[in-house]
A and B are shown apart, each in its own frame.
Chain A
Amino acid sequence: MKKQRPATNAVASSSSTSASGLGKKRSRKQQVAEESEEDDELSGVVGSGKQVDNEQVDEIDLEEDEEDDEFEIDTGSSNGDLDDFVVADEDEDDVEDDGDLADSESEEDSQAGLDLDDEEGYNSSDIDALDSEAEEDEDGVLTPATSLGSSSDLDKLIKKHTSKPSESEWGTDKFSSAKEGSGRLRKSRFVEGSWVREYEEFEAGYGSESSTEENTNTIGNIPIEWYDDLPHIGYSVDGKRIMRPAKGDELDKFLATVEDPDSWTTAEDKLLQKQVQLSDKELDIIRRLERAENPDAGFDNYQSTIEWFTGKGNEMVMPLTNRPEPKSRFVPSKWEHKKVMKIVKAIREGRIIPNRPPVEKPKVYAIWSKEDQERTPHAMYMPAPQLPPPKTVESYNPPEEYLFDEQEKAEWEAQEKEDRKLDFEPKKYASLRTVPGYEGFVQERFERCLDLYLAPRTKKVKMNIDPESLVPKLPSPKELRPFPTTSAVQYRHPASSRVRCVSVDPRGEWVASGSEDGVVRVWDLGNGREVWKWPLKMGAVQSVEWCPNRDESVLAATVSGRVYLLSPLALVSPTVAQTTLTHLNTAFASSSASTAQNEPRKAPDAKWVRPTEDERDRGILVIVEVAGTPKHITWHRKGDYFSTVAVDAANKSVLVHQVSKHQTQSPFKRTKGSVQRVAFHPTKPHFFVATQRYVRLYDLVGQQLLKTLMSGLKWISSMDIHPGGDNLIIGSYDKKLCWFDLDLSSKPYKTLRYHTKALRSVIYHRTYPLFASASDDGTIQIFHGTVYSDLMQNPLIVPLKVLRGHNIKDGLGVLDVKWHPTKPWLVSSGADGEVRMWT
């Protein structure tokens, strides 16, 4: 690139400064060559001749500089204030330029036909001669005086130089200067008696590698920061330090940018650590690169092609091949002809009519015929529903009642458009003439269209049945009489405290009730008079239950921590009283002897205590002290065993007591869940235990779990077993009643939900097919519940009657219900402090 540039510059007659300068240089060079010849002739010394030559060159350079300066002044002085370094630099440049010039000159010479001379200059004999000269020089070192003085050598030299005035000699001259031994010999300072050759300052000329590079700093491509701490910035070609150029501070720099109008055309030379003014040429190159052009201004993008083989005078006279043209080139295709003739024939016959408009299918034709098949029904085929026919309200003259009154109109206007039942406001016009155009017509059609293609469709089954057909067919309650319908007798409690429990005497004569004031009362069933009472004064009476044995008259009542066995002895016949007393008291006699032995052995589950004389006179026959508060009491059908449930008594929550032996046992060591209710099976030795959610059936004899009934309820409140023993009902606090058929499944046969509040009590009648449920909503629901002996037939449940009469107090309604043992009568107790009999 470097070599070519001056050459092209020389060719191009551009007005660049260097090019014009070069032209001058060239002429000068020739002068130099002549002068050097003269010098050589004059001096006649080989070694010094070189020196002279160099000096001459320097002189010329100086002149050139002057010229340059002049020139620069002419052009407006792009680098007006050049410092020394720049001058030195330019010197070097010039030297190089000289070298280049020589090169270009030699090229020109060669073109001008001086090839032969060149060849002469480079022939081997010359080199040999040079070698010999060098040898002679070495010899000459040894004997400098003699060698210099010999005229033959001089002649030789003269001859050589005159015969070969070529520049190539320069190169070889410089190239071989080391071998020439042009340096001075001087005594070595280190080794005594030896000589050291000292050379002149090396001047890079043509042929030297460094001469092709502008840069004189030789450190190479290393970070310049490494020299930051040093006074110099690198080394020149001949190993001299290049000192750091003086650099102004930032202010100077800034001033330079402000003051110097050309500062924007400078670039920093990193190696030399200074701002270099870019020449016009370089700027031009930059501009061209910016414009994505060829950086060389002289490059012609659109050179005219060189016509080697075409154009006038260059025609090819001879053909490429000698083969004759084939016949097919001159004969039309047979097959094409056949095809064309076919078409022609068709046109002639009228089968093809050219330029005929395309045959149009008729716009309408018979598209449907008798053979059309209906669409096969498919689940995914959902035709769009038709719009409903208009109603009278849409009439232009509807009956007056269809028009909106003020309130309706306000409502209609307040509603969102989508929520309105009518999408228009009904109007009445006196005559058809006065009816205006309907504003929403286009909108409605558009919305219909949108619905047709955008609305997702789905199939919906529309029940078109009478809702009454959903109600099950049941026998009328009238056919299922007798059942209680009205409140017949009320048993008023004085303090109107809650009556938690109620029980009817097995003979159906008395009603016992336990209220929260801690008094157990006995009432005459028929007339509602209080006949007996036991103020137990141990807190609320939780549960009362008559012993089902008709030969005795025992009433079990529970209060906190105690179970009382009571008997209204004065009311019953002497025989009954006698059996009662013997049944309850025989165990005291036997136990009094044995207690001493038993007691230390084990803490009993309950303590059977004989009441005081006074209490016994009042009818309190036995007191059983138990853990916790027994909430519920249930008798075995034979009347010897009874069971209590005390929720808060942990593992002793369920206790089974035997009256005749005054014994108490806890059948379960541990109970799963908190036991709510227990019940004896009416016929078998089975025991039902209802926890919060499940009912478990245990075999007392085999001592094993027989069945677990999953109620699906959240909290069981009450339970009763059908007298047949195969069915049971459960009431729950979550308002539901479940009927279980033990033969059917462990899941309820029916779950009914009809009370609005928690169920408190459910109970079967012992003889009639009736059952009842009492709830906190203050009602008692009477059901008919037939259990068939046929196992295939499900029990029949018919709701019969809702008994209302109890008042709701503090969110509590009816707390307990009991059936009369023989009659279809019901006794209920409520939170309002009333006990009622329903007949």
Chain B
Amino acid sequence: MAKIKKRGESGAAKNYITRTQALKKLQISLSDFRRLCILKGIYPREPTNKKKANKGSSAPASFYYSKDIMYLLHEPLLNTFRQHKTFAKKLARALGRGEWALAKGLEDRKPDARLDHLIKERYPTFKAATMELNDPLSLLSLFERLPKDPVPGRTQVPVEVTAECARLVNEWKVWAIRTHALRKVFLSIKGIYYECEVPSGESGSTVPVRWLEPYEFTQHVPSDVDFRILLTFLDLYRTLTSFVLYKLYTDENLVYPPPMDVQLDQRGEGVGKFKLVEREADEDRDGEQPKTADGKRITKKDVKRGIKSVQRAGDAVDEDEDEEMVDATEEAVEEEFVHHPGKNEDGADAASGPLPTYTSLLVSSSNSENTTPAFQIFSPYTFYLSRETSSRTWEFIIRAFGGKVVTHLEPTTDATQSNSLAGPEGDKITHVIIDRPMGKSKMRELQGQRKWAWVQPQWVADCANRREILPSGQGSGYEPGGALPPHLSPWDGEGEVYRPWLEQDKPEASQVEAAAEGDDVEMADDDEEEEEEDEDEDEETVKPETKTTITPALLAASRDPTNETLIHQAELEAESLGISHDAFKKSLDKLVKEHKETPQGSAAEKAKKVAVADEDMRKIMMTGKKQRLYTKMTYSNNEKKAEQDKLEQKRQAIEKRKKKEAKSKLAQAAAAA
């Protein structure tokens, strides 16, 4: 006889453990358990049979996989928590007694909870880590923007944490710029979505990493948000991101963490404040004696400035090289240096040492895979960012796609051209990104003799998403103050929704490169259709007259136009009704045509009907299970389709309305003329 199975000793009852049981087993408080769960990535499960999992009780409970909890028993973090608890007690005691020296000693020996073992445990491979980067980057981007006291009187966010978040995000962006890993940009109402492709380390395969960055505003923080939870997540995410960045930087043969220019940082510079330093081949200690990739471009003076500003930066640069390349320095300054507004000129000048930045390092990493021209669409261009555009965003995007950025131009000393943006940088500029309406005369005045393309920021995002330079001229909608073409999600329609009309919506003035032939053809088709529609309308207006004259004989004749007798009969009837021969002929032709069309149509309809009926018939033979599944699937498909149809209908209605408006306007104009 088989062994009798006892209740609650195997299966779901054994596999799952409720949270209360887990707490008892681990002997920790609920908040500690929460922290552990967040850090270790332990989550409740939904057992297939809750009653079995709960040993026969149907009381609501959250279930954990019991092995998860068993593993938690050996977690070093658990021990750290306990140590911290005793430490807190001791510290409180020392402080209470006023034993300051003891308190200081305790504080120095504060138990430190390190999470690096968790990173390896949770993400055994680099690929696994990159696949989970979406949430960390989004949260880091948020905390970068948060105040110290998000909810007054509640948990505080230490300034160091905010600063570290900002540093990590910027380091990530610097890496993306350096490797041209940025792929997609989407300006949504929530913030800006970016997507990077991160090499996962296995034979050139990449993992898309998408994150959302809020717009640069003070964040609205609801009072019911528990920042303890967010901070716990942030602990993990900071660690994870820093390890990922270390790997990415070292893979690029760069020193991590990259030295930061303190002065630039103070000026509120984002990605520009980091100095990328190549690792030496036999380097045993990080950051010691770094040699910049474009060291040859650095002058002695610059180096001195660099030493001043960057404490950690090394000083070993060959002077010979400097002397050789003095000529090149000027150019380099122009190319790379980002001028910053709102500084007194002297100070700015003194601080504006052309530190070797990512752009200079581009040269050295040009052999990298991602630097294929497809992703460097802006490489021939230099952009000037107007004051109202966020340099944090646009500098990153433009640089990541290979462009150069100038955010500030010194006004010329030339009195005659006081208004124009000039100087040597001005000549380099090809595009001006401007987010406010501006008159043509003003633009002309500003650009002087140079030819600048004035565009709105969306143009950059659209170009980046489509990997091509879109026309930016008058009528494209991208000109300052112009009616922008709709901005579409680059992820929308990836095999889901095909919307050819959106191509149509793109500027018709795309004579340069964009408009493909296929598009033209489509448009032509559409035109035809419209014409047809118009015709139909005309017919409709005519029909009521003809309809009155249709006699049974005429109908019969139309059915069989070869039958002479029938036609004759119809003619006679028409005569008796007093209809002219021409009119009769016309109506006959029309009817014949209609009849010719209808049989086909009706046949098609019939076939369709038959097909539909067939389908119905075959469904009789399905099993109940399959039938249920089938109905579910068709239902959801129909829902989707209905949504699309609704969108399409709305679009058509809007188009029609617009057309009418345009027509009426034209008519008005004509009348006025």
**Residues on A facing B (Cβ under 8 Å):** 361, 363-368, 370, 372-375, 380, 382-384, 386-387, 389-392, 394-402, 405, 424, 426-427, 429-433, 435-446, 448-450, 452-458, 463, 465, 467, 470-472, 474, 476-477, 750, 752, 754, 797-802
Contact A446–B613 (Cβ < 8 Å): no
Contact B491–A391 (Cβ < 8 Å): yes
Contact A432–B458 (Cβ < 8 Å): yes
Q: Which chain B residue shows the least CB distance to A799?
A: B617
Chain A residue numbers with a CB within 8 Å of B615 are: 471
Query: Which of the residues A384, A400, A797 comes within 8 Å of B43, measured between beta carbons?
Result: A384
Minimum CB–CB distance from A172 to chain B (whole Å) comes to 72
Chain B residue numbers with a CB within 8 Å of A750 are: 621
Query: Which of the residues A384, A457, A752 comes within 8 Å of B621, measured between beta carbons?
Result: A752
Q: Which chain A residue shows the least CB distance to B129?
A: A368
The residues in B between 609 and 652 inclusive whose CB is less than 8 angstroms from any CB of A are: 613-615, 617-622, 626, 629-630, 633-634, 637, 647-648, 650-651
Chain A residue numbers with a CB within 8 Å of B648 are: 401
A395 CA to B192 CA, complexed, in Å: 9
7 CB-based A-B contacts, threshold 8 Å: A382-B43, A392-B486, A398-B486, A431-B436, A442-B142, A465-B633, A467-B633
A448 CA to B217 CA, complexed, in Å: 21
The residues in B between 38 and 90 inclusive whose CB is less than 8 angstroms from any CB of A are: 38, 42-46, 48, 62-63, 65, 67
Chain B residue numbers with a CB within 8 Å of A432 are: 187, 389, 435, 456-458
Contact A799–B247 (Cβ < 8 Å): no
Query: Which of the residues A367, A431, A438 comes within 8 Å of B119, measured between beta carbons?
Result: A367
Contact A437–B489 (Cβ < 8 Å): no
Contact A396–B489 (Cβ < 8 Å): no
Query: Which of the residues B134, B225, B242, B618 comes within 8 Å of A386, measured between beta carbons?
Result: B134
Q: Which chain B residue shows the least CB distance to A399?
A: B486
Chain A residue numbers with a CB within 8 Å of B491 are: 389-391
The residues in B between 381 and 397 inclusive whose CB is less than 8 angstroms from any CB of A are: 388-389
| Among B120-128, B306-314, B362-370, the stretch in contact with A | B120-128
| Among B23-31, B91-99, B226-234, B267-275, the stretch in contact with A | B226-234
Chain A residue numbers with a CB within 8 Å of B247 are: 366-368
Query: Which of the residues B62, B193, B614, B620 comes within 8 Å of A752, measured between beta carbons?
Result: B620
The proximity string for B residues 478-512 relative to A, scoring 1 for CB distances below 8 Å and 0 otherwise, is 00000110111101110000000010010000000
Chain A residue numbers with a CB within 8 Å of B245 are: 364
Contact B125–A374 (Cβ < 8 Å): yes
Q: Which chain B residue shows the least CB distance to A370?
A: B201
| B38, B483, B486, B617: residue with the most chain A Cβ atoms closer than 10 Å | B617
Chain A residue numbers with a CB within 8 Å of B119 are: 367
| A444, A446, A453: residue with the most chain B Cβ atoms closer than 10 Å | A453
Q: Which chain B residue shows the least CB distance to A361?
A: B114
Query: Which of the residues A427, A456, A463 comes within 8 Å of B46, measured between beta carbons?
Result: A456
Extra A-B contacts (8), CB below 8 Å, given A368-B120, A389-B492: A368-B125, A368-B247, A380-B15, A433-B388, A436-B215, A437-B218, A438-B215, A453-B229
Query: Which of the residues A366, A399, A431, A458 comes within 8 Å of B250, measured between beta carbons?
Result: A366
Interface size counted on chain B using CB atoms at 8 A? 101
Contact B492–A391 (Cβ < 8 Å): yes
Chain B residue numbers with a CB within 8 Å of A448 are: 135
A366 CA to B489 CA, complexed, in Å: 36
Given A389-B491, A392-B489: A799 in contact with B220 (beta carbons within 8 A):
no
Chain A residue numbers with a CB within 8 Å of B212 are: 390
Chain A residue numbers with a CB within 8 Å of B486 are: 392, 395, 397-400
A437 CA to B44 CA, complexed, in Å: 34
How many pairs of A and B residues are in contact by the CB < 8 Å rule?
A: 254
Query: Which of the residues A367, A391, A443, A474 comes within 8 Å of B489, measured between beta carbons?
Result: A391
Chain B residue numbers with a CB within 8 Å of A389 are: 193, 210, 489, 491-492
Query: Which of the residues A365, A374, A401 comes within 8 Å of B647, measured between beta carbons?
Result: A401
The 6 closest A-B pairs by CB, nearest first: A437-B217, A389-B491, A458-B46, A401-B650, A799-B617, A456-B46
Contact A367–B142 (Cβ < 8 Å): no
Contact B44–A455 (Cβ < 8 Å): yes
Given A380-B67, A445-B138: A399 in contact with B505 (beta carbons within 8 A):
yes
Minimum CB–CB distance from B421 to chain A (whole Å) comes to 20
Contact B226–A446 (Cβ < 8 Å): yes
Query: Which of the residues A368, A465, A472 comes within 8 Å of B126, measured between beta carbons?
Result: A368
Chain B residue numbers with a CB within 8 Å of A471 are: 615, 618-619, 622, 630
Chain A residue numbers with a CB within 8 Å of B34 are: 453
A370 CA to B251 CA, complexed, in Å: 12
Query: Which of the residues B193, B246, B257 comes within 8 Å of A366, measured between beta carbons?
Result: B246
| A372, A442, A452: residue with the most chain B Cβ atoms closer than 10 Å | A442
Chain A residue numbers with a CB within 8 Å of B11 are: none
Contact A396–B226 (Cβ < 8 Å): no
A374 CA to B131 CA, complexed, in Å: 13
B204 in the interface, Cβ–Cβ < 8 Å? no
Given A445-B139, A458-B46: A474 in contact with B621 (beta carbons within 8 A):
yes
Query: Which of the residues B65, B114, B126, B257 comes within 8 Å of A380, measured between beta carbons?
Result: B65
Minimum CB–CB distance from A54 to chain B (whole Å) comes to 76
Chain A residue numbers with a CB within 8 Å of B488 are: 392, 395, 398-399
| A366, A435, A449: residue with the most chain B Cβ atoms closer than 10 Å | A449
Contact B189–A395 (Cβ < 8 Å): yes
The proximity string for B residues 544-568 relative to A, scoring 1 for CB distances below 8 Å and 0 otherwise, is 0000000000000000000000000
Minimum CB–CB distance from A162 to chain B (whole Å) comes to 80
Minimum CB–CB distance from A770 to chain B (whole Å) comes to 14
Contact A802–B214 (Cβ < 8 Å): no
Q: Which chain B residue shows the least CB distance to A476?
A: B614
Contact B487–A396 (Cβ < 8 Å): yes
A477 CA to B613 CA, complexed, in Å: 11
Contact B134–A387 (Cβ < 8 Å): yes
Query: Which of the residues A370, A387, A474 comes within 8 Å of B618, measured between beta carbons?
Result: A474
Contact A452–B230 (Cβ < 8 Å): no
Contact B242–A380 (Cβ < 8 Å): no
Contact B126–A372 (Cβ < 8 Å): yes
Contact B654–A437 (Cβ < 8 Å): no
Given A437-B220, A467-B637, A799-B621: A400 in contact with B189 (beta carbons within 8 A):
no
Chain B residue numbers with a CB within 8 Å of A374 are: 124-125, 128
Given A396-B487, A471-B615: A365 in contact with B246 (beta carbons within 8 A):
yes
B578 in the interface, Cβ–Cβ < 8 Å? no
B188 in the interface, Cβ–Cβ < 8 Å? yes
Contact A399–B229 (Cβ < 8 Å): no
Minimum CB–CB distance from B204 to chain A (whole Å) comes to 14
A367 CA to B650 CA, complexed, in Å: 53
Q: Which chain B residue shows the least CB distance to A425?
A: B189
Minimum CB–CB distance from A756 to chain B (whole Å) comes to 12
Chain B residue numbers with a CB within 8 Å of A446 are: 225-226, 229-230
B186 in the interface, Cβ–Cβ < 8 Å? yes
A192 CA to B614 CA, complexed, in Å: 148
Contact B654–A401 (Cβ < 8 Å): yes
A455 CA to B225 CA, complexed, in Å: 17
Contact A802–B613 (Cβ < 8 Å): yes
Minimum CB–CB distance from A754 to chain B (whole Å) comes to 4
The proximity string for B residues 243-278 relative to A, scoring 1 for CB distances below 8 Å and 0 otherwise, is 101110010000011000000000000000000000
Contact B124–A373 (Cβ < 8 Å): yes
B152 in the interface, Cβ–Cβ < 8 Å? no
Minimum CB–CB distance from B35 to chain A (whole Å) comes to 10
Contact A450–B456 (Cβ < 8 Å): no
Chain A residue numbers with a CB within 8 Å of B201 are: 368, 370
Chain A residue numbers with a CB within 8 Å of B647 are: 401-402
A467 CA to B629 CA, complexed, in Å: 8
A437 CA to B247 CA, complexed, in Å: 34
Contact B621–A390 (Cβ < 8 Å): no
Chain B residue numbers with a CB within 8 Å of A380 are: 15, 45, 65, 67
Chain A residue numbers with a CB within 8 Å of B62 are: 454, 456
Chain B residue numbers with a CB within 8 Å of A401 are: 647-648, 650-651, 654
A23 CA to B283 CA, complexed, in Å: 107
B8 in the interface, Cβ–Cβ < 8 Å? no
B191 in the interface, Cβ–Cβ < 8 Å? yes
